[in-house]
Amino acid sequence: MEESYAFEDFEAGRSFPLATRIVTAAEIVEFASEFDPQPMHLTEQAGKESILGGLSASGWHTASLFMRMMFDGWLSRSSSEGSPGIDVMEWKKPVLAGDTLSGRSIVLETRLLRTRPGIGLIRFRHEVENQRGELVMRGENPIMMRLRTPQGAKL
Amino acid sequence: MEESYAFEDFEAGRSFPLATRIVTAAEIVEFASEFDPQPMHLTEQAGKESILGGLSASGWHTASLFMRMMFDGWLSRSSSEGSPGIDVMEWKKPVLAGDTLSGRSIVLETRLLRTRPGIGLIRFRHEVENQRGELVMRGENPIMMRLRTPQGAKL
């Protein structure tokens, strides 16, 4: 059986790998057609003419791909209760058709929630990089997580 | 001909409406299946059993829908050169199947970029609300915008 993660497992400094993901031209165009139809996300030609240098994923697509990579990497096996938002998200380099993305979620800090007994908040730094090890996206966000043993919790 | 917006048009305090958008159950499930397959985004039953209260859109779906609402509302007619990231994004209320979303982008501040002549940075607050006028998502992000008359710019 695979390990499953509860609040108590998220110690500051611990790192959880994201699943690896190849990004195809077809899915870049499909996502952009639906959510972000700017030219550089729709054709190789327009991408080459832009500062991005080629057909490149919408930043919102990269963020959504990151969510799936996190789900497959570790979140699906955790006691996550969702997230209130994103503290910061930076698109550092273009994600180009054919890129292979990987990365990690690193625990920054954890605290119990006074308002929600049995649930704690984990603040993560997330890093997504390409096949050359270049950071393409970096972000920080808090995720709510159930405790394994709520009765033992000390606020 | 529709108005088109350049850096000079984005004065602090000015508000630009987002396009209105109905969110269907089918698209909530489709997006979640691809990017965020947590149970509350996949079935009405699991949504009802979660703190979200019904089949609800992934926060990343709401963010992507916001991008399209911004594109259709005003961004497609602007001199946008893209964005370096998101300063903050808060998911305030669940987006449920059948909701109608609308909102606005409000200019917080503008500045010219010393490193990129002819381009300025506009910092926006974005607000997305549902048909009851409840704020469902709020965020801040900077967008790069070409000047209409670069030669007249004063740093």
B67–chain A Cβ distance below 8 A for any pair:
yes
State the smallest CA–CA distance between residue B33 and chain A in angstroms: 9
Tokens of B39: 């149970």
**A50 contact residues in B (CB cutoff 8 A):** 82
Residue spans of the domains in chain A: they are 7-152
Considering only CB atoms, A87 lies closest to which of B34, B59, B88, namely B88
pTM of the predicted model, to two decimals? 0.94
The interface predicted TM-score of the complex, written ipTM, equals 0.93
pLDDT tens-digit readout, A96-149: 999 999 999 999 999 999 988 899 999 999 999 999 999 999 999 999 999 998
Taking an 8 Å cut-off on Cβ atoms, the answer to whether A36 and B88 are in contact is no
CA dist., res. B26 & res. A33, Å (int): 18
CA dist., res. A51 & res. B79, Å (int): 14
Considering only CB atoms, B67 lies closest to which of A60, A80, A89, namely A60
Taking an 8 Å cut-off on Cβ atoms, the answer to whether A89 and B86 are in contact is yes
**Is B7-150 CATH 3.10.129.10?**
yes
The CATH number of domain A7-152, selected from 3.20.20.80, 3.10.129.10, 3.40.470.10, 3.30.1330.10: 3.10.129.10
Taking an 8 Å cut-off on Cβ atoms, the answer to whether B91 and A83 are in contact is yes
CA dist., res. A121 & res. A108, Å (int): 11
pLDDT tens-digit readout, A34-80: 999 999 999 999 999 988 899 999 999 999 999 999 999 999 999 99
Answer whether B53's CB lies under 8 Å from B96's CB.
Answer: yes
